Every structure is written in structure tokens, then in C-alpha cells.
Amino acid sequence: MKTALITGGTKGIGKAVAQAFLERGYEVVINYCHDEATALATQEEFNMLGYCPVLLRADVSDEAQVRAMFKEFFSIYEKLDVLVNNAGISKIKVIQDTSLSDWNGIFRVNVTSTYLCSKEVVDKMIFAGGGAIVNISSIWGEVGASCEVAYSASKGAVIAFTKALAKELAPSNVRVNCVSPGVIDTDMNSHLTGEELEELISTIPMERLGTPAEVAEACVFLAESTYITGEVLSVGGGFGK
């Protein structure tokens, strides 16, 4: 039985990714940090569909908690086939209003967590003969966004991390790829007014928002494509191209 662990997997893109792997017969572990109520509700929702995902609580930007999480994971499962580094936060501020605390917080969640989780599993994947790491970046990591300098920089760092680690691990049959969502219909965009949303949609060639399920499809594709590594797959309906 194949296994997958998704960080930040209780809602939005992460939840859709968890469901996509469950539907393909994977044993799925869903990481969450603070919101236990949402985590339990997500688990119950999947239970009602006939799936039995495991919940593991950890702040994936904290090294000790990451180590403890994977220690628990490997006490349950012999190997990890797929790690999806999805946990992330955003903040909309002009750079003059972006404090060092804002900057460090975004990098800690978006970049440091990706580094810590990946570092913790690579030896296990190598020993098992291979595996896949899929990192979630953003179109803003590719092209940048006004008033989101810290977020854009962090997601650009995820792309660079992906490309470098892919080269490092390719000889060991551990593939590392990146999904770069465009404007997706999630809570992260709930701050937009109807007018702002319409204006944004008008800039998308496919003239609609993407869905979390469409991002999840890309994650599964990259996780299961045995000769693809170091790639950034944009899922944005042509946005930003």
C-alpha cells in the first residue's frame, strides 16, 4: 500500500490533495497545526466517504515538532511514498508596512517547513528505493505580485529549492517537483470583493478561477510520473503567462 503525507491538509488545496490520493488507494496522513476542530471535521467527512486518513498535529515550521511527527508516522508505516509540502500562509502588505516579523513568519511557514519536512524524509525514501516530494508554490513565485513581496519571495524560494533538491536526489530515484497554482477558489482569496474578483478573473485566459481539485490532479500526476523531476507545473488557466 502506498502512503502520502500532506502538510496543511485539512482545507482548501491540501484537503483536495488528500482526497485525490485517498481516491487512488493511498494510505493518507493529514498534517494540521492549530485548528483541531477543522481537522476532525475533515477526517469525519472522509470517513463518511469510506476513507480512513490519519491526523498528525505539528507546526511544520518547528524542527522538533517535525521530527516528532515523522517519528510517529514511521511508527505506523514502514515507508513514505509521497510528501506534499502544502502548508502555507500569505500576507498582503506594501513593503513599507511589511515588518521583519511578517517576513520571517511567511518564510518560516512557506519555506522552512518545506526544508524541514523534506530533510526529515529523504533518507527514508532513499533507503526504500525512491519516492516523490511535491512542493506547492504559487504563480506569484514565478512572476511576483505587487503588495505581496514577502509571499512572492517565499514561493520563489520554494521553486529554487525544488530545482536544487531534484538534482541532488535524482540519482537516488527520489523525484522533487513543484505545483504552481494561479488564482484558486480557496479561503486565501476570500478577502477579495466581488468587484476585485471579477477584475482578476478578467485577466485569466480561461476566464474562471481554478479549483483545489485541479491543483490536486497536478500533484498526483507529478507524484506518479516516474521520469519527471525538477519541474514547475503551473495550474492557472494561463494566468501570468
Q: Is 151 a catalytic residue?
A: yes
Closest CA to 178 of 195, 192, 164: 164
Query: What are φ and ψ of residue 83, in 5° steps?
Result: -115, 125
Query: What are φ and ψ of residue 82, in 5° steps?
Result: -135, 130
> What's the CA gap between 148 and 171, in Å, rounded?
36
Question: Cell digits for 157?
Answer: 524560494
Planar angle of CA 193, 238, 213, nearest 5 degrees: 70
Neighbour tally for 65: CB within 10 Å: 17
**Residue in 26, 32, 51, 151 annotated catalytic:** 151
Catalytic residues: 151
